[in-house]
Chains A and B, each alone.
Chain A
Amino acid sequence: MALKNERDFAFKSLLLGVLLTLGLMGVSQQSKAEYADVVINNYADAAGMRPAVFPHWFHRIRFRCKVCHADLGFKFKAGGNKITMAKIIDGQFCGACHNGEVAWSVENCAMCHSGIPGTPTHFHGSTLQRLVAPAYKPLDAKKASKK
């Protein structure tokens, strides 16, 4: 009898430890991506690809804003450029540099398409996003996950 109780206790304490670990890991999974990272998911999810993540910080070390936003015609709007792979391989948008000459070429699919599937198009860390509920955690989805 005593043996059974002890086993019970050991099992419960181990279970509690595992649960605590999992629970706190869940808490830690908040988004803390770099300021001005853009997730672009106009078409990616529907095409069975991960959404693309564009890091502004990486590109601005190498190019001034003017190169993309004046010369290449990128609008100042996340998801507003309707970029498709067809346009990129024709040398438009990202394809102006990501052609194997200025920067690495499009066969490195997963370098851009590296976002968590289902993440909506949004501008990470924007003031608007911090004022309102984060775009990537819609309230409906939270409610649905509770059910």
Chain B
Amino acid sequence: MNHKNKIMMLLSSAALAVFAVLQAGQVVAAGAAGADKPLMLAEVSAANIFNRNLKKQKNPNAPPWEDGIHDTTNEATFNLQPPLEAYKGLPKTSFGNHVDWVKALDQGLIKPRWDRLDSNEEPFVMDLDIVRPVKASVPDVVFPHRQHTEWLFCSNCHPAIFIPQKGANQINMSAILLGKKCGVCHGKVSFPIETKTCKKCHSKPKPADWKPPLSEATLKNPWK
């Protein structure tokens, strides 16, 4: 084998590696493992990588055949509509489906049916805001019935999830994160629970004279 061939071989393997990097979209401490060692890229010291709990979504709105849950050996997978094709022209957000569904509906960009068969039937919209004071220092919650009744019927939430009575519903973020109360939808289908979305619910600033209540332990044993 001459020198030229050797260079060609090197180039071809380099090209393969570049292709691999493009495929992955990320390089995780690749390391040139020998042929005798299996490459275990994702597993090695996964506990010590930077921001290991910050899982950034790569390539959002991937088409079905690239999304990791559809079987690519299934021919029909390739007949499914890619989300981005459907989202063209819809208002964007930076979470969930990356589409502002409420805005899209308000602007008439999508016209989802209220009735299974009748496309002319209009929803029964109730415009009533419920203000829920919050113990913690975050802004108080304003629950808008309007946006919810555009999509849902009263019986979807009342009385199974929320008792329609003032003061009857104890809600906290732990319950919501675990899929109860608002978390039945939020964090699953409607906008997710992320730092970016806190203020969508916690939207009413506290009164100017508001101070965080002192904890009982502090009251009993004041800190000096």
Residues of A within 8 A of B (CB): 3, 6-7, 9-10, 12-37, 39, 50, 53, 55-58, 60-67, 69-72, 76, 96-97, 102, 108-111, 113-117, 119, 123-128, 130-131, 136
Whether A9 contacts B6 by the Cβ 8 Å rule is yes
User: Chain B residues with Cβ under 8 A from A12's Cβ?
Assistant: 35
Q: Which residue of B lies closest to A59 (CB)?
A: B112
B120 interface residue, CB < 8 Å from A?
A: no
| Cβ distance B125 to chain A, nearest Cβ, rounded Å | 11
Whether A50 contacts B10 by the Cβ 8 Å rule is no
Q: Name which of A20, A111, A115, A116 has the most chain B CB atoms within 10 A of its CB.
A: A20
Q: Which residue of B lies closest to A142 (CB)?
A: B43
User: Chain A residues with Cβ under 8 A from B184's Cβ?
Assistant: 76
B41 interface residue, CB < 8 Å from A?
A: yes
Which of B15, B30, B189 is within 8 Å of A23, CB to CB? B30
User: Chain A residues with Cβ under 8 A from B96's Cβ?
Assistant: 35-36, 125
| Cβ distance B183 to chain A, nearest Cβ, rounded Å | 7
Whether A110 contacts B1 by the Cβ 8 Å rule is no
Which of B9, B10, B26, B69 is within 8 Å of A53, CB to CB? B69
Q: Which residue of A lies closest to B70 (CB)?
A: A114
Chain A interface main SS type: helix
Quick one: CB contact mask for B59-77 with A, threshold 8 Å, 1 for yes? 1111010111111001111
User: Chain A residues with Cβ under 8 A from B183's Cβ?
Assistant: 127-128
A45 to B79, CA, bound (A): 22
User: Chain A residues with Cβ under 8 A from B83's Cβ?
Assistant: 34, 55, 57-58
* Those 5 A-B pairs whose CB atoms lie nearest each other, nearest first: A17-B13, A127-B187, A31-B68, A110-B76, A23-B39
Whether A24 contacts B1 by the Cβ 8 Å rule is no
Whether B112 contacts A64 by the Cβ 8 Å rule is yes
**Assuming A21-B16, A22-B20, A50-B71, what are 18 further A-B pairs, CB within 8 angstroms?**
A6-B6, A20-B39, A23-B20, A27-B42, A32-B68, A33-B67, A35-B97, A53-B70, A58-B81, A61-B110, A64-B152, A66-B153, A69-B156, A70-B152, A108-B76, A110-B77, A116-B69, A128-B183
User: Chain B residues with Cβ under 8 A from A64's Cβ?
Assistant: 112-114, 123, 150-152
A90 to B144, CA, bound (A): 38
Whether B69 contacts A110 by the Cβ 8 Å rule is no
| Cβ distance B11 to chain A, nearest Cβ, rounded Å | 10
Whether A128 contacts B187 by the Cβ 8 Å rule is yes
User: Chain A residues with Cβ under 8 A from B10's Cβ?
Assistant: 13
B170 interface residue, CB < 8 Å from A?
A: no
A53 to B183, CA, bound (A): 22
Q: Which residue of A lies closest to B26 (CB)?
A: A27
B80 interface residue, CB < 8 Å from A?
A: yes
| Cβ distance B110 to chain A, nearest Cβ, rounded Å | 5
Which of A56, A57, A67 is within 8 Å of B115, CB to CB? A67
A66-B152 contact in complex given A37-B69, A127-B177, C-beta closer than 8 Å: yes
A110-B97 contact in complex given A31-B67, A71-B116, A127-B188, C-beta closer than 8 Å: no
B185 interface residue, CB < 8 Å from A?
A: yes
Whether A50 contacts B74 by the Cβ 8 Å rule is yes
| Cβ distance B150 to chain A, nearest Cβ, rounded Å | 7
User: Chain B residues with Cβ under 8 A from A128's Cβ?
Assistant: 177-179, 183, 187
A13 to B184, CA, bound (A): 53
